[in-house]
A and B are shown apart, each in its own frame.
Chain A
Amino acid sequence: MYEILEKEVLSETVKRMVVYAPRVARKARAGQFVIVRNDEKGERIPLTIADFDAEQGTITIIFQEVGKSTAQMGQFQVGDAFANVVGPLGHATEIENYGTVIMVGGGVGIAPLFPITRALKQAGNQVISIIGARNHSLLFWEERMRAYSDELIVCTDDGSRGRKALVTEPLKEILQQRKDIARVWAIGPAVMMKFVSAATQPFGIPTIVSLNTIMIDGTGMCGGCRVTFTDGGSQFVCVDGPEFDGHNVDWNLLLERLSFYREQEQRALQHWKDHACRLDQAAETLEKERAHG
């Protein structure tokens, strides 16, 4: 079992947990991910490693509550444990001194972007970071990102924090003003990565995206995570990624594959809520009965 040692509510739906997983922590590097399973009936969920501490034997995961499994995770408290945590999976980010880089993070994607940003800064890069979310309450780790960025731009869709803009707006402005951008990293919702890639393509700047697709084993066995390239090829996110050249990803097919189980996801969430609700009612009835003893 993999115990939860810390839990922090980062925003309305985004939570951070420090989990005891010494085997993973010992090997983890920026850019890699883990697969976690809540309990014996749980599905296998890929989550990027947001931070790790080999000495303490811990990894940090950050997740957004979107479906049944992440909603259930959100209810876990310090002292609870995950049934399974396996990793580290995928290739680590290639950290070098590229010169000037732009780091673009959207929503929960800011979490995996952080260790890469830190590593790139420590490798000597000039780092410009752009982070964004729908609104102020969904933003987190602004200070952490600032600590490893030479410049930090914050945007929200509704203007409740920083600039009222999508992350692609300041990105395009910088690309038009400066000719020295060596590389761009983008991690966030698939649709954000799609538009960041579209924004950088005319400038010919290598753009690295980190994909989080549906997968089961994470070792190349199921092939469910396969990503299609615009040049016709295909690779597995789990063993060939999770980072890919954003200009070569067939984004429309990727978005469609991501939404394949949407209907089942709704059903699972509803089933869980109903069940949790019945449990609450049962507990309440029991309490009342006891009170009336």
Chain B
Amino acid sequence: MAKILPTRTPMREQDPQVRARNYEEVSYGYSIEEALAEAARCLDCARPTCMPGCPVKIDIPGFIRHIREGNYQAAVDLIKQTNALPAITGRVCPQETQCEGVCVLTKKYEPVAIGRLERFVADWEARQGPPPLPSLPPPTGKKVAVAGSGPAGLTVAADLARLGHKVTIFEALHEAGGVLVYGIPEFRLPKSIVKREVDYVRALGVEIVTDFIVGTTATVDELLEEFDAVFLGVGAGLPWFLGIPGENLGGVYSANEYLTRANLMRAYRFPEYDTPIAIGERVVTIGGGNTAMDAARTALRLGAKESIVVYRRSRAEMPARQEEIHHAEEEGVQFYFLTTPVAFHGQGGRVRSLECLKNELGEPDASGRRRPVPVPNSNFHIEADVMVIAIGQSPSPILAKTTPELTTARNGTVVVDPKTMKTSKRGVFAGGDIITGGATVILAMGQAKTAAQAIDEYLRTGVW
């Protein structure tokens, strides 16, 4: 057996200085030669450690074996048995804390670049033209309503359509894709990829109705009059704010608003597109997750001279994907670690500076990460004219308010049986960020797959 290379095959990327000013995708993806070189690094372990690290248990050594053999279609087909959206997860999964984090190579070397290989086969498939449609079973006559067209909604709809059920997705916004179109920027996940997945789901016979807010345009109870089951996959849409003085000054955005203006509404092409966004000379983003990285990097692309991230813990505790932090640093985003905002200050209703305190790291908290402890009288100001708050979100209260029988936890998440994704209300299932409060695309998809199985069983047996 050939000697294993200690480092993974690099993925070619746009030059950081250039890409920080455009919206094109940062990484080019592997060529066939690069993919083959990287696939050769997989030891094809008899008892793979990577698979248990995957939330949907993709047969990782299996699909990499297919790549080595040059059988890319077989590789995609194998992944798609458990993961409907590999082009997306290959780009946005936190592989370093999942499959790659537990790859056996990490004991001595860099792990196999599983995510890049997943992306490679998915992109290879896309280049072959529209995916062939599976032969669909005869219609069962059962109807399912899916609320939300994000990762969970698209997955559950595709699975149920393949089982012969008639599925209608209801989307509140004017475009399908959920967080994949309003939240994750083009330079990280091109919209054409999302569109391809949406088109595929439509081709399976799923109807997508936009401009329809489940809970408001029609309640869950009203949907149950027309549909045999309902799946709630509306995500976690309610942004958290800091609750500090000056937060409602002009120029202070939630990350949701900032990214939605830039992505969904295409404010980066204002005035050709109608929606404006404040460009800002200096933009401060508060938070340390993927959303914060997206916002800070979007600020540069919109034309900000400086983009600064303020995070209360240190770099090691940042929840963002390693690759996103690395890309942000390369593009010139500055980081203020161990820094807690205490007030926004402004003039004439517009934000001008952020007052902060310095922190020290204390004992570990409930999340296992060391708790930031503010240093008294360490106040200092960061001047900036746009501020973006990216500290998390929870589910919108609209569904809970309009669906009395739906049990929710204190943080607003919908309570489900994790084996079936059944909610407390008969005929109603849920999955994705609406039950986790904000997790990953892959988890949402895994839950949607579980839900699809349970919905199918419920539709066939009528047993709740």
Contact = CB atoms under 8 A, between A and B. Distances in A.
Contacts of B216: 27, 87-89, 219
A229 to B, nearest CB: 10
A190 interface: no
Contacts of A87: 213, 216-217
Interface stretch (B63-71, B112-120, B269-277, B303-311): B269-277
Which secondary structure dominates where chain A touches chain B?
mixed
B427 to A, nearest CB: 21
A268 B398 contact: no
Contacts of B251: 260
A216 B261 contact: yes
Interface string B346-358: 0011100000000
Interface stretch (A41-49, A134-142, A192-200): A41-49
A203 interface: no
B248 A219 contact: no
Interface in B115-130: none
13 contacts: A23-B211, A23-B212, A23-B218, A41-B272, A42-B274, A84-B174, A219-B237, A219-B396, A221-B182, A221-B237, A222-B260, A224-B257, A257-B248
Given A68-B274, A89-B216, A264-B276, A221 B250 contact: no
B274 A69 contact: yes
Interface string A254-273: 01110111001101100110
A48 to B, nearest CB: 16
A87 B217 CA distance: 6
Given A84-B210, A85-B211, A271-B271, A223 B276 contact: no
A26 B271 CA distance: 35
A68 B278 CA distance: 18
B51 interface: no
Contacts of B275: 43-44, 216
Contacts of A256: 249-250, 348-350
B271 A223 contact: no
A222 B218 CA distance: 22
Given A84-B210, A256-B349, A268-B276, A222 B271 contact: no
A83 interface: yes
Sorted nearest first, the 8 A-B pairs with minimum C-beta distance are A256-B349, A264-B276, A222-B257, A43-B274, A260-B250, A221-B237, A86-B211, A271-B271
B273 to A, nearest CB: 5
Interface in B209-263: 210-213, 216-218, 237-239, 241, 247-251, 253-254, 256-257, 260-261
A246 to B, nearest CB: 17
B218 A223 contact: no
Given A219-B216, A223-B241, 7 more contacts: A220-B396, A221-B239, A222-B260, A239-B398, A256-B349, A257-B248, A260-B349
Interface in B154-199: 172-174, 182
B245 to A, nearest CB: 9
Nearest to A215: B257
A32 B94 CA distance: 42
B238 A234 contact: no
Contacts of B391: none
A276 interface: no
A157 interface: no
Interface string A70-84: 000000000000011
A267 to B, nearest CB: 6
Contact of A222 (B239, B274, B278, B397): B239
A3 interface: no
Contacts of B272: 41, 271
Interface residues of A, number: 46
Contacts, number: 128
A197 to B, nearest CB: 18
Contact of B174 (A83, A253, A264): A83
Nearest to B243: A234
A24 interface: yes
A89 to B, nearest CB: 7
Contacts of A86: 172, 174, 211-213, 217
Contacts of A264: 270-271, 276
A87 B350 CA distance: 31
A44 B276 CA distance: 11
Interface in B261-312: 261, 265-266, 270-276, 278
B250 to A, nearest CB: 4
Nearest to B393: A221
A196 to B, nearest CB: 22
Interface in B313-343: none
Nearest to B401: A239
Contact of A220 (B248, B250, B261, B397): B397
Given A23-B218, A42-B274, A239-B397, A234 B260 contact: no
Nearest to B248: A228
A220 B398 contact: yes
Nearest to A217: B173
A218 B260 CA distance: 12
A61 to B, nearest CB: 15
B212 to A, nearest CB: 7
Interface string A22-58: 0110010000000001100111100000000000000
A10 to B, nearest CB: 24
A227 B241 CA distance: 13
Nearest to B346: A256
Contacts of A68: 271, 274
Contacts of A255: 349
B349 A257 contact: yes
A226 interface: yes
B249 to A, nearest CB: 8
A43 B265 contact: yes
A166 to B, nearest CB: 24
Contact of A234 (B241, B266, B350): B241
Nearest to B183: A221
A219 B249 CA distance: 21
